[in-house]
Amino acid sequence: MAMQGGTALQEEVIRMLSRKQKKLVLKPNKPLSLKDEVANRKIKKGEAMCITEMSMMMACWKQNNFANALCSNEMQSFYKCVEKSQIAVKAISEQHIIGQGGCLQPKQATTLLK
């Protein structure tokens, strides 16, 4: 049944496009119908960092009724970990910009030539 609807739709599109010039304007190489499935793409995700420090900080908050003063050591270790991970991510992105990880953008290439 779905194939008959797709064929009818395809014939209608061809008929509408060929009215003006009396010839076939659009000749699709695939049937004009939707598939029953979608493409299986995997989305790349970044690596999770500082999970242990964050969980320690949250556990401390829960034990101490969310008092920041009582959990200052855990908060400091979490913030230090976040700083280190941001520096690491920035270093990786700079390596990609320099060309160790891929292509240079035109603007970057012209600034390197100067």
Q: What is the pLDDT of residues 24-77, one digit of tens each?
A: 566 778 777 777 777 666 655 667 889 999 999 999 999 999 888 999 999 999
**pLDDT value at position 13?**
74
CB atoms closer than 10 angstroms to residue 79: 13
pLDDT band at 1 (very low <50, low <70, confident <90, very high): very low
Taking the alpha carbons at both ends of the chain, their separation in whole angstroms is 65
Contacts of 28 (CB under 8 A, 6+ apart): 10, 13
pLDDT mean over 3-28: 67
